[in-house]
């Protein structure tokens, strides 16, 4: 069987996770969440962090049991068999294909603000660049990813530090303008801003010492992103009225203007460009590894499993996914990308959670199976909570997301039912 080389250490895995998580959410969703919850949006992000953590912990255990390319698809394939693996992989792959439009078009919009290059052209340029970088191999793309994340985090934390002296205490009163309901609704939005930690598992086959680095990278990703989100949110709420935050397509640019003038708008645009570039690269790493794994198992066209013998890169999958990311750019619709991608993203968590539940039941009945070097604490609490939160997020996707996402899932179910109902036989690492 074709295997990918383990070339990515903890910094590279962490860069994939942070880069994939901190992207557009900090620049767009912060404003929407703050508008819904008021100053109590700070609590919304803390709640969303714990929700993400409850789902991430069982995800980390599965990633250690099966450190294979493909993330949720690989987990499902090992435990539930080819039929459900096809459905899981199809949904997971589709989620990031659609979500990429949110990221790449966001990049194009900020690039347009800085340079005047039309949004579509700028977005397509980004897709071309990250495709070229990823073709160079995970080691090269990992180093670029680390650099982009360092620059992004530096820009965001500098923005927060410069804004602290300009915070007005009056902007935090009343703290609960829309009550607990507002905090709850904003927490759902905030959860989507934490999405991306799972990308680390998608590249698990290329991570060194996966039993240590995979859970460490997943949990550290959420902690780092939480710190950045809280710092930026406090400054945003404390310096700009909520009405401006909620109605702006670039809320942090609006915030920066209040204490840095017009140069502040350019500063945050530059930070947005760096961050969305890092996210787009992480998305391409995830989608290409998912489709590579499915092609390797005979569920996608075989040519997508081809690997560059010198670089160890699944170049065919990278090229195909680069083209698909470009096609999503050409739709020009961030709303469509968010609606469909959001539904599929939340749905995909059900498959790995069901897989781990089955493994736990088998272990309880005397069949330990693949032993994980990392085991979640308090499984009787963590697992039900993870299932509940996943279904709650699916429900919150809205009519457009549910309708179009269900259509995409339906196609995956049809394809899945054509597969033989057996495990694919991949050896766990």
Say what the pTM is: 0.74
Q: Which of 51-65, 189-203, 225-239 has the highest mean pLDDT?
A: 225-239
CATH number for 10-365+399-417 (one of 2.40.50.1070, 3.40.120.10, 1.10.3290.10, 1.20.1740.10): it is: 1.20.1740.10
Over the chain, what is the mean pLDDT? 79
Determine the average pLDDT of the residues in 353-362.
87
**In the predicted model, is pLDDT for residue 209 greater than 80?**
no
Whether residue 314 contacts residue 280, with contact meaning beta carbons closer than 8 Å, is answered with: no
Residues 279 and 16: their CA atoms lie apart, in Å, by 8
pLDDT in tens, 222-278: 888 888 889 888 998 998 888 777 666 677 777 888 888 888 778 788 878 887 887
Q: Which residues contact 346 (CB under 8 A, 6 or more apart)?
A: 390, 393, 394, 397
Per-residue confidence band for 33, with pLDDT thresholds at 50, 70 and 90: confident
pLDDT in tens, 98-119: 888 878 888 888 888 788 899 8
Residues 307 and 317: their CA atoms lie apart, in Å, by 9
Counting Cα atoms < 13 Å in the Cβ hemisphere of 131 gives 19
**In the predicted model, is pLDDT for residue 428 greater than 50?**
no
Residue owning tokens 């096609």: 327
- 116: alpha, beta or left? (left if phi > 0; alpha if psi -120 to 50): left
Q: Which residues contact 337 (CB under 8 A, 6 or more apart)?
A: 98, 99, 100, 101, 102, 105, 328, 331
pLDDT in tens, 274-333: 878 877 887 888 788 888 888 887 888 888 888 777 766 788 888 999 999 999 899 877
Residues 8 and 142: their CA atoms lie apart, in Å, by 7
> Tell me, what's the pLDDT at 321?
92
Tell which wins on pLDDT, 93 or 11. Answer: 93
Strand partners, 8: 207
**In the predicted model, is pLDDT for residue 2 greater than 60?**
no
| 248's tokens | 């702006």
* Pick from 295, 289, 351, 331: nearest CA to 141: 289
**In the predicted model, is pLDDT for residue 343 greater than 80?**
yes
* Pick from 307, 265, 336: nearest CA to 97: 336
Tell which wins on pLDDT, 187 or 210. Answer: 187
Whether residue 280 contacts residue 19, with contact meaning beta carbons closer than 8 Å, is answered with: no
Tell which wins on pLDDT, 53 or 342. Answer: 53
Question: Lowest mean pLDDT: which of 149-158, 197-206, 420-429?
Answer: 420-429
Whether residue 78 contacts residue 66, with contact meaning beta carbons closer than 8 Å, is answered with: yes
Per-residue confidence band for 425, with pLDDT thresholds at 50, 70 and 90: very low
- 8: alpha, beta or left? (left if phi > 0; alpha if psi -120 to 50): beta
**In the predicted model, is pLDDT for residue 423 greater than 50?**
no
Tell which wins on pLDDT, 259 or 214. Answer: 259
Q: Say what percent of the chain tops pLDDT 90.
A: 6
CA distances 85 to 99, 254, 346, 357, Å, are 21, 44, 16, 16
**In the predicted model, is pLDDT for residue 359 greater than 50?**
yes
Greatest C-alpha distance within the chain: 66
* Pick from 167, 219, 173, 208: nearest CA to 57: 219
Determine the average pLDDT of the residues in 210-232.
84
Residues 311 and 318: their CA atoms lie apart, in Å, by 13
């Amino acid at each position: 069987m074709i295997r990918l080389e383990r070339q990515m250490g903890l910094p590279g895995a962490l860069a994939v996770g942070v880069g994939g998580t901190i992207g557009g959410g900090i620049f767009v969703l912060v404003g929407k969440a703050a508008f819904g919850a008021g100053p109590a949006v700070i609590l919304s992000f803390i709640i969303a962090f714990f929700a993400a953590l409850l789902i991430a912990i069982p995800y980390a255990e599965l990633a250690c049991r099966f450190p294979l390319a493909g993330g949720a698809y690989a987990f499902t394939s090992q435990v539930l068999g080819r039929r459900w693996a096809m459905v899981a992989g199809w949904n997971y792959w589709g989620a990031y294909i659609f979500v990429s439009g949110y990221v790449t078009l966001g990049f194009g919009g900020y690039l347009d603000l800085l340079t005047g290059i039309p949004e579509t052209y700028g977005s397509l340029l980004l897709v071309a660049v990250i495709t070229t970088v990823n073709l160079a191999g995970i080691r090269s793309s990992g180093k670029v990813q680390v650099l982009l994340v360092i620059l992004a985090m530096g820009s965001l934390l500098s923005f927060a530090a410069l804004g602290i002296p300009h915070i007005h205490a009056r902007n935090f009163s009343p703290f609960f303008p829309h009550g607990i309901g507002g905090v709850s609704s904003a927490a759902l939005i905030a959860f989507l801003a934490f999405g991306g930690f799972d990308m680390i598992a998608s590249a698990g086959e290329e991570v060194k010492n996966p039993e240590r680095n995979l859970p460490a990278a997943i949990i550290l990703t959420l902690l780092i992103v939480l710190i950045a989100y809280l710092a930026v949110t406090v400054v945003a709420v404390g310096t700009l009225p909520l009405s401006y935050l909620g109605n702006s397509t670039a809320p942090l640019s609006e915030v920066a203007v209040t204490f840095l003038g017009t140069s502040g708008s350019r500063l945050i645009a530059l930070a947005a460009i760096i961050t969305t570039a890092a996210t787009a690269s992480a998305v391409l790493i995830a989608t290409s590894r998912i489709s590579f794994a499915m092609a390797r198992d005979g569920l996608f066209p075989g040519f997508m499993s081809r690997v560059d013998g010198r670089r160890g890169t699944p170049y065919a999958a990278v090229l195909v996914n680069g083209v698909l990311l470009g096609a999503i750019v050409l739709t020009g619709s961030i709303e469509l990308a968010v609606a469909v991608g959001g539904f599929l993203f939340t749905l995909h968590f059900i498959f790995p959670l069901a897989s781990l539940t089955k493994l736990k039941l088998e272990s309880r009945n005397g069949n330990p199976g693949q032993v994980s070097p990392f085991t979640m604490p308090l499984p009787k609490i963590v697992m039900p909570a993870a299932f509940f939160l996943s279904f709650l997020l699916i429900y919150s996707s809205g009519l457009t997301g549910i309708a179009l996402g269900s259509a995409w899932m339906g196609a995956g179910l049809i394809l899945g039912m054509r597969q033989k109902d057996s495990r694919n036989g991949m050896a766990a690492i």
